[in-house]
Structure 1
């Protein structure tokens, strides 16, 4: 697997004093400063986010996600990927993906009707009310954190006026994933999702019970994420936020490794911008010349799919100046 991850830690930021519905109130300004610093330095952080309660997490993972992955493969494949949206559906048991990893996705908006349509696709004619309530409840809380962080970044960089338009354009992919454990006589951990950067503005990861996320620092060291609390989520900057901020934010390489004999489950919310990605004029000057050409997220995602997104700077390859 290569060099072992050292016992480093991600920055921990406490969001318990932040109300997503009241930007600027409470601990907002203090948390904002920590968020901007963490994303500039590490490109990610450990968010203590008690709004996603233990009951919500348990209902989501134990009552919904595990039920989802117990379905036969034929049922899961109904969550299809189309040629123009190659990463918006079921991944697993197909070319390019190991059988030890699979995931399904609810796309575009984190709304009750989207969740119901997904559930009806998986269990046609079934009583899916409990599944829908658990999935929407968790996804909504995670999306609230993502929006707060995006707003904080724009405020912290002095360009808050761009937030509303970006938010209106945003699509979400809410992906539920299972990473099988090596089990048997396997020693150590095995890679279940290889080293990559995300094509998103922001990604929020919620893991259940089993660790596995590893993040690479700027000097090449690996941080093995261990949640600082039962309320932890991981916020990761994607390449599109890196481009939009004119390289003021890092988009870290990361991977998933799993050991032992217990499968790892996680939920990942990807925030994908619908607007053309171009650094605002306010973020371009003599000290910060343009680093990337304007582009659309769909085009960048197709480029990454076509060329592979593993451990290479695909953003620079695609649109670097």
Structure 2
């Protein structure tokens, strides 16, 4: 539901994670705030001055990324993936005034933007992402060994994006509202607004902050599966009312290809019955390409939602498999 186009100022305060480590002073308070925001809205805004400092942000957004996207299209198209453009270079398309380039690890991202310093910072961002996931799962009551299993079973990628002036300058809309399909996306903005998130269930749109020490963490559909529906996938869009060119960096996290994703055993009980049956990511990818998958407004629920899946399949897998 979309109640209004105009976003409000960010109403949920940012959680300061700088210097916060497990079992350190401030961990429990920060964990409670992160978990509460993720459960209520599917996103949390965090502050961490050391993860990607202001000097590096200026170098990245002011020089490296503009130079990267100024390269000829033929050069950018050399970034390819056997999985297609969504895991490599995406050029402008009707209704999508954006080009972006995805690389699969921090070292590759550093080479793409020709900045060795960014390699270590990308690793810092992965650690920040892992911290938010750990806090969320720990706050929900997931056991430590299961948290370790999840954190050790992910792949991490970086997507660098350039947004031109929106085609619809009246609304400033660049990307329509959608959910991400992975586990957790950390969005880095710089000076120019764009990311808007929907809070709760009343249709309010909030403009994510662009301050140099803030990061917006968005839950994807697979995190909803893992948390048995406790954490909703964040509904978000890109809208730039100032109609300026905009750059952003997305740090992406998802299970490895071929994984089977299932709800944590601790999060399935009488009060919280199973929402999704185990999801084989390869099979789900094929379903998304099918006619049924393309027509579905919620392909994940259509594919493995408990109310749509055969009971025999549920008895075979149960809810004890996490990742394979």
TM over 0.5: yes
Q: Deviations over 1:64-110 (max 9, x none)?
A: 2111111111111111232x35521011235xx54611100111x33
Q: Using the alignment, how far apart are the partners of 1:235 and 1:88 within structure 2?
A: 20
| Map of 2:162 onto structure 1 | 178
| Map of 1:315 onto structure 2 | 300
| Map of 1:300 onto structure 2 | 284
Q: Is the 8 A contact 1:246 1:283 kept in 2?
A: yes
Q: Using the alignment, how far apart are the partners of 1:310 and 1:266 within structure 2?
A: 30
Q: Is the 8 A contact 1:17 1:28 kept in 2?
A: no
Q: Deviations over 1:152-181 (max 9, x none)?
A: 122112222212222221111200001111
| Map of 2:206 onto structure 1 | 224
Deviates more, 1:59-68 or 1:284-293: 59-68
- Root-mean-square deviation (Å): 2.6
Q: Deviations over 1:36-88 (max 9, x none)?
A: 11000011021112112111211222232111111111111111232x35521
Match of 1:273 among 249, 252, 255: 255
| Map of 2:53 onto structure 1 | 53
The aligned length equals 300
Please, what TM-score do these two structures have when normalized by structure 2? Answer: 0.83
Q: 1:261 to 1:5 in 2, by over 3 A?
A: closer
| Map of 2:77 onto structure 1 | 77
Q: 1:158 to 1:78 in 2, by over 3 A?
A: same
Q: Secondary structure at the match of 2:242?
A: coil
Please, what TM-score do these two structures have when normalized by structure 1? Answer: 0.84
Q: Using the alignment, how far apart are the partners of 1:228 and 1:64 within structure 2?
A: 19
Q: Using the alignment, how far apart are the partners of 1:302 and 1:204 within structure 2?
A: 26
**CA shift at 1:17, angstroms?**
4.3
For the pair 1:115 / 2:109, whether they are aligned, the reply is yes
Q: Is the 8 A contact 1:174 1:268 kept in 2?
A: yes
Q: Using the alignment, how far apart are the partners of 1:12 and 1:311 within structure 2?
A: 35
| Map of 1:233 onto structure 2 | 215
| Map of 1:4 onto structure 2 | 5
Q: Structure 1: give runs of 5+ residues left out of the alignment.
A: 120-127
Q: Using the alignment, how far apart are the partners of 1:80 and 1:141 within structure 2?
A: 26
Q: Deviations over 1:181-227 (max 9, x none)?
A: 138xx643332122211111111000122111111233242423241
Q: 1:253 to 1:303 in 2, by over 3 A?
A: farther
Match of 2:97 among 87, 100, 104: 100
Q: Structure 2: give runs of 5+ residues left out of the alignment.
A: 307-324
Q: 1:289 to 1:226 in 2, by over 3 A?
A: closer
For the pair 1:253 / 2:242, whether they are aligned, the reply is no
**CA shift at 1:230, angstroms?**
2.5
Q: 1:91 to 1:215 in 2, by over 3 A?
A: same
For the pair 1:206 / 2:188, whether they are aligned, the reply is yes
Q: Using the alignment, how far apart are the partners of 2:268 and 2:3 within structure 1?
A: 38
